[in-house]
A and B are shown apart, each in its own frame.
Chain A
Amino acid sequence: MSWTTYLMYLAVMAGVTYLIRMLPLTVFRKEIKSVFIKSFLHYVPYAVLAAMTIPGVLESTGDIRTAAAGLIAAVIMAWRGHGLLTVAIVACAAVAAAQGLLLLI
């Protein structure tokens, strides 16, 4: 692909993505008073994360069995109140361990 064509595509792609992110965060400055909208926005992050995690996590490692091992490890660690980095590392380690185990079987 020529650089000219590429750069036109890149400009549209990056421009649209940036505007969608920037406008609501920058233009809308008022504090929201409506209890419904406040509550709605309060719950949005959890809804987004839950929807992105399940079922996506099961396809994140290329093998549903190792992903399940990582998922279970992460849930246990998070349930015990460990921080983001710890939970993420333990989940990776559990996947690696499960991969090793599957090689032995």
Chain B
Amino acid sequence: MNKLFMKGVRHGLPIGLGYLSVSFAFGTQCTDNGLTIMQALLISMTNLTSAGQLAGLQVMVSQAALASGLIEMALTQFIINLRYALMGLSLGQKLGPTMNTPRRMFFSFSNTDEIFAVASSQPEKLHHHYLYGLMVMPYIGWSLGTLLGAAAGEILPEFVTSALGIAIYGMFIAIVIPPARREKSVAMVALIAIAISVCFRYIPGLSAVSGGFVVIICAVIAASAGALLFPVKDDAAEGGADA
């Protein structure tokens, strides 16, 4: 296809690699819990989200009465995935004029934490070719990893899967550090978010809060603090995360 599409594919490659190992673990868990390989694969192909799928699997296999099980499923997904609403709102401000309604509806399916992060760190307004390219490798990685994990949990030696496990985080770090080096404000926001997230992980009681909620709480507090202390001038905000 074209240059923008290929640029998106390239940017999606580290995400896809990272997903491969994460979804591999998910696939293994599905078959461990009695799902077929096909059922495991279908979950990943229709959801494309890590924490939500893991929680969803637990609800599915919980043996609850169907009606209450379905309600629990809806509530769980709503709470864990609410962060995507915040990200959608943020990314919506960065979409270029080619992103009409059907294209928005198509792309939004794949607005994961990682795809959102990479897309919003682009300096320019986003074109649909770039975003479509960006979806490709993560979708393949996520589906393929699930399939492999469900089909043969032991197919990859453990040292390979555990080394791949850090790929996604390496990518996050590569997105945050350069702007944090340039702008004190970004560094401050990141440090506030880290401090809160560490509290939620290690303080007894707080650590019971689900991961999706922790991300929302950290994002709201840290980004509000940033907006109050370091309001962004118009042009900088429009230049996006990299400005």
Contact = CB atoms under 8 A, between A and B. Distances in A.
Contact of A18 (B109, B165, B197, B201): B109
Interface in A19-77: 20-26, 28-29, 31-32, 35-57, 60-63, 66-67, 70-71, 74-75, 77
B163 A92 contact: yes
B78 A9 contact: no
Contacts of A63: 162
Contacts of A38: 93, 232, 234, 237
B232 A13 contact: no
Given A50-B191, A52-B215, A60-B169, 17 more contacts: A12-B73, A14-B46, A18-B109, A28-B88, A32-B93, A43-B223, A46-B179, A47-B190, A51-B218, A52-B113, A54-B197, A74-B170, A74-B173, A85-B10, A87-B171, A95-B166, A99-B162
Interface of A: 1, 5-6, 8-10, 12-14, 16-18, 20-26, 28-29, 31-32, 35-57, 60-63, 66-67, 70-71, 74-75, 77-79, 81-93, 95-96, 99
18 contacts: A1-B35, A1-B39, A9-B69, A9-B73, A16-B73, A18-B108, A24-B89, A38-B232, A39-B232, A46-B223, A47-B219, A47-B223, A50-B191, A51-B215, A74-B166, A88-B14, A91-B167, A92-B163
